Amino acid sequence: MRNAYVLYNPIAGGGRGLENANRLKERLPEQQLIYRDLTKITDFASFFGGLAPQDEVILCGGDGTLNRFVNATQGLALPKRVLYYATGNGNDFLRDVGKTPADAPFCVNEYLRHLPTVRVNDRQYRFLNGVGYGIDGYCCAVGDKKRESTTRPVNYTAIAIEGLLYGYRPTAASVSVDGVRKTYQKVWIAPTMYGRFYGGGMQPAPAQSRQNPAHSVSLAVIHTAGKLRTLCVFPSIFKGGHVAHTDMVDVFCGRHITVEFDRPAPLQIDGETVLDVTRYEVQAAED
């Protein structure tokens, strides 16, 4: 009999990870479900080795859960069927592949291949959605603090607006895309994207596709403008309309990208925060 190992993240969905994962019992009544806390699996090679060939894995969580899984399993052969059931809040990966939280678990093996890597503070990570640097990293850092005192969903849009007005000041930056360097004096965001979405639906590089055959990534830079104009343009990032403002938005596509700020700033990788970063480097995957 085929078993389904449900790997849930207990902190996903505002701490309701197991509760939300238990909904699978109603959705898959004929399936033999075996629940495991993803955060307590320390040896995925041994875990995969204990599965029967017909067994499948169902990941339950959000973007952070997916990120944790792809980094913990780097270099390992995955089971033939790894499925995903969204129980998080942001769901940018889900949005990018045309699914909704109401959908049944679906196979994600194809999306877990050819992922780009980012090197930050002498550590390397794989990512599925994007690396945010600037006010987007600042939003994640502030959101982390808010989650320490509440289980309610964090409003990243409100944090971004507050940051634009008061809490965040832009930096000078130097960016390099496949060896071509450019400098800016006032940068608000400088994310590198593998998918289209991050931050709960924002599209900093709306033309980026995670399924492009070159596995390339896109760097978006919002720069030059002052607080008020940036605040006026910022809402259009949810539809990708900000790219029409070519005097303050640059988008580059490439395989090797570096971004350097003139002072430390928070950075986020698929929503997971890294503090005090002055430089990051992204490398697209090879075939």
167 in the same domain as 243: yes
* Share above pLDDT 70 across residues of the chain, in percent, rounded to a whole number: 99
Residue bearing the bigger pLDDT, 157 or 80: 80
Show the tokens assigned to 226.
């002052």
Question: Which residue among 92, 112, 132 closes a domain?
Answer: 112
Q: Would you give the DSSP letter of residue 150?
A: -
Which of 54, 77, 112 lies at the terminal end of a domain, its last residue?
112
For the stretch 138-159, pLDDT in tens is 888 888 887 777 767 777 778 8
Same domain, yes or no: 129 and 235: yes
pLDDT at position 175 is 98
114 within 8 A of 255, measured Cβ to Cβ: no
Q: Same structural domain for residues 247 and 154?
A: yes
Residue 1 scores a pLDDT above 70: no
- Count the Cβ atoms, other than its own, within 10 Å of residue 117: 15
The total number of structural domains that make up the chain:
2
User: What is the DSSP secondary-structure string of 53-119?
Assistant: TT-EEEEEE-HHHHHHHHHHTTTSPPPS-EEEEE-SS--HHHHHTT--TTSPPEE-GGGGSS--EEE
Same domain, 41 and 101: yes
Helix (H) or strand (E) holding 24: helix 24-27
Residues 249 and 164 in one domain: yes
User: Tokens standing for 107?
Assistant: 């196979």
Confidence (pLDDT) at 151 = 67
Q: For the purposes of burial, counting CB atoms within 10 Å of the CB of 3, is it exposed (0-12), middle (13-18) or buried (19 or more)?
A: middle
pTM score > 0.85 for this model? yes
Q: How confident is the model at residue 136 (pLDDT cuts 50, 70, 90)?
A: confident
Residues 15 and 45 sit within 8 Å (Cβ to Cβ):
no
Do 217 and 189 lie in one domain? The reply is: yes
- Per-residue pLDDT band for 160 (boundaries 50, 70, 90) equals confident
Contact call for residues 98 and 111 (beta carbons, < 8 A): no
Regarding whether 131 and 15 lie in a shared domain, the answer is: no
205/226 Cα distance (integer angstroms): 21
Say what the pLDDT of residue 14 is.
81
DSSP 27: H
199 with 68, same domain: the answer is: no
Q: What is the CATH number of the domain that holds 233?
A: 2.60.200.40
Amino acid letter, 259: V
What is the predicted pLDDT for the residue at 187? Answer: 95
Which of 76, 91, 112 corresponds to the end of one domain?
112
Range of the domain at 132: 117-283
Range from 14-18, 65-69, 103-107, 277-281 carrying the lowest mean pLDDT: 14-18
Distances (CA, A) of 49 to 55, 65, 76, 99, 181: 11, 21, 10, 30, 46
Residue 164, pLDDT score: 82
Task: State the pLDDT at residue 138.
Answer: 86
- Pair (63, 135) in one structural domain: no
Give pLDDT, residue 156: 76
